[in-house]
A and B are shown apart, each in its own frame.
Chain A
Amino acid sequence: MDILTWTYILVGATFALYIGIAIWSRAGSTKDFYVAGGGVSPLANGLATAADWMSAASFISMAGLISFMGYDGSVYLMGWTGGYVLLALLLAPYLRKFGKFTVPDFIGDRYYSNTARTVAVICALFVSFTYVAGQMRGVGVVFSRFLEVEVETGVIIGMVIVFFYAVLGGMKGITYTQVAQYCVLIFAFMVPAIFISIQMTGNIFPQLGFGSTGAEGTYLLDKLDGLHQELGFAAYTDGSKGMFDVFCITAALMIGTAGLPHVIVRFFTVPKVRDARKSAGYALLFIAILYTTAPAIAVFARTNLIETVNDQEYATLPQWVENWEQTGLLAWEDKNGDGKVQYYNDKNVDFEAIAAEKGWNGNELSVDRDIMVLANPEIAQLPNWVIALIGAGGLAAALSTAAGLLLVISTSVAHDLFKKQIKPDISEKGELIAARIAAAAAVVVAGYFGINPPDYVAAVVALAFGLAAASFFPAIVMGIFSKRMNKQGAIAGMITGLLITIFYILKFKFGLIGSDSPEDWWFGVSPEGFGAIGMVVNFIVSITVSKMTSPPPQDVQEMVEEIRIPSGAGEAHDH
């Protein structure tokens, strides 16, 4: 069977599964809708959290990104996993004990202030919309590439599916579809990786394979370092970012991960405090399977690519090169007219002389990083069903994350804004209807952004992490670990953290305020890493302001003591 038939079968079967689960797990109450009734087992919650967290970007783009960044790509690997340690140790158990539905709930109650609640809602909405636009785009891209339909049609099919299980099933529907989606996406990611690892190194574990020897008996990483140097790139295992910048980006991603509302809310769905701890462990274990394989794929794909194309006659290149040229992800331009492909670092000034000596006239091959995962099975000549599997896996990754984000948006609107601030006397049934309408509206808005993606999607992701790190994380941590922290301190901290991070990113990422040259970066920190600085500023401002103002009321201090002790967590409640 050809690839297209296989893709239709696999994508059709997985979609039927998701819809079946949605019908089976309809939400009957707001508690079902917001936190899946609070009865999800730690294992299921771990699986769902892993699918929720791993987006189209983790599945499709991350290995490629690392492949082009080498050691510098470590910031994503450590940054997007280390945050779970913070979650498990510093946030999840206590928020579960607190036992409400959302992060703004906690901020609003702990800081006895609707202003704080509103600031938190705005942050939650901003972060979630930023993210969801990228996911819907991912759905469209996968559809167009694997099912040969227009991107727009793909986005609309994706919207219908998400609409079905997010609006109908709420958190309950989303949780159990995410469990299925994790299984699909991890299988789709691992099968090609294992095949390629066996082909290139004879080792069945990709995690070990990229540290072992290839066919010629040299270590794969040494070979790749050598290839890189021959072509004027920095050695793969060395990297070229400044150390302090790498430090800050890693910190911003870790802390941002721990502060993302769609991840935090998953820990409200388990029955007990100890389940919250345990499910964070499971979640990271399941995430780690993909995250430890990605750097191996990066090395395999990078080596394969360089060896296949560099200094080869264009006419003799394998078929997949032509296939991917048609999609525009790969492009070759014969600058020196010798009929051969030259792929090297033409930005490296020191390398110019060597290139000129060889008669090279600039880099001739442009490669989209996504190709490293998408084309990998073809490059390794794997069977058609494996290639089709990548499509189903990419869709599972994008849809599961989109659904989780849409739920945060609808909860923020229906619960935190409508129920808590505008119309507190709304009935349970009315609130459920409001939540469904909000979810439906959010699907439509997300779909719109998927079809008409703003140019700045990639840039705002930095903003989403920066904002989560600079606003939510310090406010929640101090809310648990400091009884003395009061509303003045927390609000002042969140607002300064937010403003300074927004300012920095607008200045250096969008070039809106004065010079955006990297030479002017404060302490050499890139906009991606600035969330870490924003967080420090938040902590300093909060502590200073709270020292100068009166301590929080007695009942709030008692509440803090209460959430530190796990017993009697009971069920999530609504008053």
Chain B
Amino acid sequence: MDNKTPQAYWKRNLSYLTILMGIWFLVSYVFGILLVDQLNAIRIGGFKLGFWFAQQGSIYVFVILIFVYVRLMNKLDKEFGHHE
């Protein structure tokens, strides 16, 4: 990662995307849909956990994911001298 080529920049971007999209898939499709019945056995207050992820939790995580991405990319832009 020493050479600051556009290819290296793109590779780092893609690895961020893979991780963040993985979390995106996990909280919505896995927790909210595929494993909803298993997670519903766990309760937090009045919420069954699977139901909570489907109607609340996934949305909170989506918001956080975008802001994390903004931060990561701003740092990456600076590192590679693409800062505007």
> B residues within 8 A CB of A285?
63
Give A220 to B58 CA distance when docked, in angstroms.
Answer: 21
Instruction: Give residues of chain B (58-82) contacting chain A, Cβ–Cβ below 8 Å.
Output: 58-60, 62-63, 65-67, 69-70, 73-74, 77, 81-82
Q: How far is the CB of B65 from chain A (nearest CB, A)?
A: 6
Given A561-B6, A566-B84; A77-B55 close (CB under 8 Å):
yes
Tell me if B60 and A292 are in contact (CB < 8 A).
yes
Q: Evaluate contact between B62 and A71: CB separation under 8 angstroms.
A: no
Most buried by A among B40, B45, B59, B73: B59
Q: How far is the CA of A211 from the CA of B53 in the complex (A)?
A: 13
Known: A77-B55, A207-B56. 6 other contacts (CB 8 A): A71-B51, A74-B54, A89-B65, A274-B73, A288-B60, A569-B84
By the criterion CB–CB under 8 Å, are A81 and B62 in contact?
A: yes
Q: Evaluate whether A250 and B62 lie within 8 angstroms (CB atoms) in the complex, with A211-B46, A274-B74, A566-B82 already known.
A: no
A78 to B36, CA, bound (A): 14
Contacts of B81 in A (CB 8 A): 567
8 A-B pairs, CB-CB below 8 angstroms? A81-B62, A90-B17, A285-B63, A292-B56, A295-B55, A564-B13, A566-B73, A566-B77
Assuming A89-B20, A246-B33, A288-B60, is B84 touching A84 (CB within 8 A)?
A: no
Residues of B within 8 A of A84 (CB): 62, 66
> Chain A 398-429, CB within 8 Å of chain B: the 1/0 string?
00000000000000000000000000000000
On whether the beta carbons of B46 and A273 are closer than 8 Å, the reply is no
| Residues of A contacting B63 in the complex (Cβ-Cβ under 8 angstroms) | 281, 284-285, 288
Q: What is A's interface to B at a CB cutoff of 8 Å?
A: 66, 71, 73-74, 77-78, 81-82, 84-85, 88-90, 93, 207, 210-213, 219-222, 237, 243, 246-247, 250-251, 272-274, 277-278, 280-281, 284-285, 288, 291-292, 295, 561, 564-569
- List chain A residues, Cβ under 8 A from B9: 564-565
Give chain A residues whose Cβ lies under 8 Å from the Cβ of B59.
77-78, 81, 288, 291-292
For B21, the chain A residues whose CB sits under 8 A away are 85, 89
The residue that B46 contacts in the complex, of A93, A207, A221, A284, with Cβ under 8 A, is A221
Instruction: Flag if B29 contacts A250 (CB, 8 Å).
Output: yes
Q: Say whether A250 contacts B70, CB under 8 Å.
A: no
Residues of B with C-beta under 8 A to A564: 6, 9-10, 13
Given contacts A81-B62, A88-B69, A561-B6, contact A247 B29 (CB under 8 A): yes
- Total contacting residues, chain B, CB less than 8 A: 42
B34 neighbours in A (Cβ, 8 Å): 243, 247
B61 and chain A: residue at smallest CB distance: A85
Query: How far apart are the CA atoms of A237 and B56 in the complex, in Å?
Result: 13
The interface residues of chain A lying within 8 Å CB-to-CB of B45 are 211-212, 219
Decide if A85 touches B84 in the complex (CB within 8 Å): no
Q: How far is the CA of A323 from the CA of B44 in the complex (A)?
A: 39
Complex interface residues of chain B between 1 and 32 (CB less than 8 A to chain A)? 6, 9-10, 13, 17, 20-21, 24, 28-29, 32
Contacts of B28 in A (CB 8 A): 78, 82, 250
**Closest B residue, CB atoms, query A567:** B82
Separation of A567 and B76 alpha carbons in the complex (Å): 12
CB distance from A304 to the nearest CB of B (A): 17
Query: Which residues of chain B come closer than 8 Å to A220, judged between CB atoms?
Result: 46
Are A212 and B46 closer than 8 Å at their CB atoms? yes
Give Cα A71–Cα B10 distance, bound, in whole angstroms. 39
Query: Which residues of chain A are near B65, meaning CB under 8 Å?
Result: 85, 89
CA distance A222 to B45 in the complex (A): 11
Cα–Cα distance between A561 and B83 once the two chains are bound (Å): 17
* B51 to chain A: closest residue by CB: A237
Which of the residues B24, B33, B44, B62 comes within 8 Å of A288, measured between beta carbons? B62
Chain B residues whose C-beta falls within 8 Å of the C-beta of A74 in the assembled complex: 32-33, 51, 54-55
Q: Which 3 A-B pairs have the closest CB atoms?
A: A219-B46, A74-B54, A281-B66
CA distance A564 to B17 in the complex (A): 13
Contact B48 A237, beta carbon cutoff 8 Å: yes
Residue of B nearest to A42 (CB): B70
CB distance from B76 to the nearest CB of A (A): 9
Q: How far is the CA of A273 from the CA of B83 in the complex (A)?
A: 10
CA distance A277 to B67 in the complex (A): 8
Distance in angstroms between the alpha carbons of A78 and B26 in the assembled complex:
12
Tell me which of B46, B58, B82 contacts A565 (CB under 8 A): B82
Chain A residues with CB under 8 Å of B29's CB are 247, 250-251
Report B-chain residues with C-beta under 8 Å of the C-beta of A250. Answer: 28-29, 32-33
Chain A residues lying within 8 Å of B54, measured Cβ to Cβ, are 71, 74, 77-78
**Contact B33 A243, beta carbon cutoff 8 Å:** yes
Interface centre among B24, B55, B66 (most CB of A within 10 A): B55
Distance A272 CA – B9 CA, assembled complex (angstroms)? 18
Is A281 in contact with B70, judged by CB distance below 8 angstroms?
yes
Residues A237 and B40 in contact, CB atoms below 8 Å apart: yes
